[in-house]
Amino acid sequence: MLPRPGGSDDEGGLGLRLAPAIFKMRSDEEIEAEAAAEQLKSSFDERPHRRFNPLTRSWVLCSPHRAKRPWLGAVEKTETTKLPAYDPACYLCPGNTRAANGTVNDKFEGTYVFDNDFPSVRSGDGDFVQLNEDDLFIAQSNRGACKVICFSPKHNVTLPDMTVDEITEVVRVWRREYEALGRLDYINYVQIFENKGSMMGCSNPHPHCQIWATEAVPDELAKELDAFAHWRANKNGACLLCAYVERERARAAERVVCANASFTALVPFWAVWPFEMMIVGHQRHLSSLAQLTADEERDLADIIKQVTTKYDNLFQCHFPYSMGIHQAPTTSTTGGPSQRPPQQHRHDDGDGRGEENGDDGDEDLFHLHMHFYPPLLRSATVRKFLVGYELCGEPQRDMTPEQAAARLRDLPAVLYRDLPPATEQEQQQ
């Protein structure tokens, strides 16, 4: 059975649509095959093994027995400073002067968007050019645009502190920016991402995310496009993530953390980070934010609130993470002319030779999803490091994704900061 969504009327009064129950008649052969698979999987609970990520066509080493090892390494500082609702020194607060050019923010009361004062890519650098010397020294120009989106005028909130209505407005701004930037003839991909917490390199605690819209399709997205193309070519036109989320929901849901009518949040079978999560649409195939209905915008806001609430409740802290929205390249979804730089994406067609994957059909090919990559491992002060074997060989994790999902799933749906203070007797128990 799927976990009950945390945004129901009984648990927070959000009045959101619940995920439909899933009932599927199975044959005796299917039941026997599933039992055999479960017996095989149980042998991996304490045994080192590798798991395959079909989205990037890469492997991760899982070492569940290492979760018990002692730790005398780095201990991070927790962010305990209580922030004010307005900080006169913050360059993201309403009405304040920003860090460059003396620009003054509007006195905004909701979500606020502006051009990044320190962009990583720029629009005015001329047409696309490429250098190639003997296929050894290759460089491409990469035009683009960078924006900052303040989630709220309040300096002291994060996504789990916001209401579903407030997060829904953020989702709508994401959609508008995706569509507007995608109509620019030199923009082919719009990457929306959030770095939360100083541990993730966030330079300002005011709640915000960024958009980097680029002429080139970034490597991680190119890998996923190839994976979707490979799956479709080998599975009679099926979608990789449609198949994956259906299997996750229809079985024991051991990696599902929470869900609502449109979206499922789960710890992927191939997760690298200890409490990594992915949000995937399960109700229908969606390629980008541009295809969301009003109900789906609200459902996406609800599942984001559920996920981020679970995170903060895990170690009762402002849980750090990097979040990214992965969706179809914009040339196909917005109808704009393509000036995409020539890129060779290759996927293995099963015989090891690989096959060049063109850019046609990206909209139908891609499946909208969100990645959450949090670094914390054992507590609010102990983080995971990708070093050594993981840099030189392949990524590795300790606890299994199933164990991580169980811990997250069992956490309260209400943010710990919103609960009444515990009595002295409760604290002693």
Confidence band of 25 (pLDDT split at 50, 70, 90): low
pLDDT-derived band of residue 323, with 50, 70 and 90 as boundaries? very high
DSSP state at residue 60 = E
Count, residues in the chain = 429
Q: Which residue has the higher pLDDT, 360 or 98?
A: 98
pLDDT of residue 220: 96
φ, ψ at 385 (rounded to 5°):
-120, 135
pLDDT for res 135: 95
pLDDT confidence bin for 64, thresholds 50/70/90? confident
Contact (CB, 8 A) for 353 and 346: no
pLDDT in tens, 274-314: 999 999 999 999 999 999 999 999 999 999 999 999 999 99
Cβ contact 417:162 at 8 Å: no
> What pLDDT score was predicted for residue 14?
44
Task: Give percent of the chain with pLDDT exceeding 70.
Answer: 77
pLDDT at site 18: 54
Q: CB under 8 Å to 221, separation ≥6 — which residues? A: 189, 191, 326, 329
CATH class of 112-211: alpha beta
Q: Please check the confidence at residue 187 and state whether its pLDDT lies above 70.
A: yes
Contact criterion met (CB below 8 Å) for 338 and 331: yes
**Higher pLDDT, residue 101 or 172:** 172
d(CA 159, CA 9): 20
Write the pLDDT tens digit of every residue in 373-418.
998 877 777 777 788 888 999 999 988 999 999 999 999 999 999 9
pLDDT at res. 253: 84
The reported pLDDT for the residue numbered 29 is: 74
Contacts of residue 72, defined as CB under 8 A and 6 or more positions apart, other chains included, come to none
- With bands split at pLDDT 50, 70 and 90, how would you rate the model's confidence at 198? low
> Do residues 225 and 357 make contact, with C-beta atoms less than 8 angstroms apart?
yes
Please name which of 182, 387, 205 lies closest in space to residue 289, comparing C-alpha atoms.
182
CA distance 175 to 177: 5
Q: What pLDDT, in 10s, does the model give residues 332-345?
A: 444 444 445 555 44
CA distance 356 to 222: 12
Domain ranges of the chain: 9-21+45-78+218-428, 112-211
Tokens at 409, concatenated: 């799933």
Average pLDDT over residues 424-428: 49
Q: What average pLDDT is seen over the chain?
A: 84
Overall average pLDDT of the 351-362 stretch: 44
pLDDT in the model for residue 100: 85
257 in Cβ contact with 385 (< 8 Å): no
188 vs 10, residue with greater confidence: 188
Mean pLDDT of 136-159: 96
Average pLDDT in the 176-203 region?
89
pLDDT over 90 at 47, yes or no: no
Q: Give me the pLDDT at residue 98, please.
A: 92
For residue 36, what pLDDT is reported? Answer: 62
Mean pLDDT within 79-99: 90
Confidence band (pLDDT; 50, 70, 90) for 1?
very low
Q: How confident is the model at residue 125 (pLDDT cuts 50, 70, 90)?
A: confident
**Of 282, 319, 318, 323, residue with least CA distance to 299:** 282
| Active site annotation includes 208 | yes
- Banded model confidence at residue 41, pLDDT cuts 50, 70, 90: low
Does pLDDT of 349 surpass 50?
no
User: For residue 297, what is the enclosing H or E element?
Assistant: helix 294-315
117 near 100, Cβ under 8 Å? yes
Question: What average pLDDT does this structure show over 367-375?
Answer: 95
Entry pTM: 0.84
Band of the pLDDT at 346, cuts 50, 70, 90?
Answer: very low
pLDDT over 90 (residue 85) = yes
Question: Residue 258: how many CA atoms within 13 Å on its side-chain side?
Answer: 25
Which pLDDT score is estimated for 364?
85
What's the confidence (pLDDT) of residue 131?
94
pLDDT mean over 247-261: 92
Task: Single out the residue of 32, 4, 36 nearest to residue 18, CA to CA.
Answer: 4
C-alpha distances out from residue 418 to 72, 162, 412, 413, Å: 34, 11, 11, 11
Write down the CATH superfamily of domain 9-21+45-78+218-428.
HIT-like (3.30.428.10)
Judge whether 9-21+45-78+218-428 and 112-211 match in fold. yes
In the set 206, 208, 282, 369, the catalytic residue is: 208
